[in-house]
Amino acid sequence: MEIVTKIAPICLALIMLGLGLGLKGEDFIRVLKTPKDFFIGFFSQLVILPIVALCVALILNLSAPLAVGLMIIAAAPGGVTSNVLTKFADGDVALSISLTAVVSLISIISVPFVVISSAEFFGAVVPEDVSLIGIALKMALVVTVPVICGMIIRAYAENFISSKINIINKLTSLLFIIVFVAIWIEEKDNILNYLVQAGLAVLILNIVMMMLGYFIAKKFASGIAQQKCIALECGLQNGTLAVFVATLMFDDLAYMVPTAAYALTMYITGFIFIYILRKSNQNL
């Protein structure tokens, strides 16, 4: 995992910088203006998603590394991809950006807590030098600091950054792909076996969460655009952040496998989800 361990933090920091470049202060203020829709998405991602992942791991009787790996991806916030696909689906992009921004910042605490707790629950061995505070501080360096730097840069170069935001989004997607190509190259002899083991789990998690997001938002959210956004936010997580956490805490590739499998799955199911909406002319 030497290559992945080296490039994951760099790629994640650049991705979060790109996220920050796409943010404004009003993206956080908006949370206060439309609290109901934000809270529905926030609760679905931060609470329901890890609970569903835990249930899937128990029902499928996953090995400890795969179970914890599934919890890592479930604990991860949404990424830039969710913002892009929400726009493509004619969802509430502003809400999607707000959810991504706030949950990403909170993730420096929520992710280590969920992962360490689930590791203890499933009996996975957590290295003695790994602690919640230590992981939170390291995550802050590659998550919070780049986001803040990106927002500062945008504040001083608004017109230039705004005109290049589509290019920035494409570059962040490319960085995401680079990390997973590195995983495939470095562990090509073992990856297929692991994907077979984790594939069903991540597929179930992905589909169930998009459906739950759909029905919860349909019941409680304020409109169709918000429903689309929340459903996609529940099914598109920041895989690069999950890989970073997995490599930071564990030496075994198995902890990263659900992340790699989920990355492949979420793109396919995400586009199918949008296609069905458009094809059937149904509204969320």
pLDDT > 70 in the chain, percent: 93
In order of 70, 106, 126, 127, the CA distances from 120 in angstroms are: 14, 22, 8, 11
Distance of CA 21 to the CA centre of its chain: 18
Average pLDDT over residues 9-29: 81
Both structure tokens of 168: 């920035």
Q: Structure pTM?
A: 0.85
> Is the pLDDT reported for residue 58 higher than 90?
yes
Q: Quick check: 104 pLDDT over 50?
A: yes
Q: Which pLDDT does position 118 carry in this prediction?
A: 93
Specify the residue for token string 């029905």.
215
Dist. CA 68–CA 202, nearest whole Å = 12
Can you tell me the distance from the alpha carbon of 221 to that of 29, in angstroms, rounded to the nearest whole number?
19
CA distance 167 to 195: 32
Query: How many whole angstroms separate alpha carbon 238 and alpha carbon 8?
Result: 12
Check whether 67 has a pLDDT greater than 60. Answer: yes
| DSSP label of 187 | T
Least confident of 37-41, 86-90, 98-102, 138-142: 86-90
* Res. 143: pLDDT tops 60: yes
β-bridge mates for residue 78, sequence order: 237
Cα separation of 27 and 103, whole Å?
Answer: 12
250-253 long-range CB contacts below 8 Å, 24 or more apart? 250/65, 250/68, 250/124, 250/126, 250/127, 251/1, 252/65, 253/1, 253/183, 253/187, 253/190, 253/191, 253/194
Spacing of C-alpha 52 from chain mean position = 15
Q: Which two tokens stand for residue 101?
A: 């921004």
Segment 120-134 mean pLDDT: 82
Please indicate whether residue 228 or residue 184 has the higher confidence score (pLDDT). 228
Q: What is the pLDDT of residue 72?
A: 93
* Range 217-225 average pLDDT: 87
Q: Which amino acid is at 270?
A: G
**Where are the extended beta strands (E) located within 30-83?**
none
Question: How would residue 284 be classed by pLDDT, with cut points 50, 70 and 90?
Answer: very low
Quote the pLDDT of residue 25: 76
Going by C-alpha positions, the residue among 258, 255, 214 that lies closest to residue 237 is 258
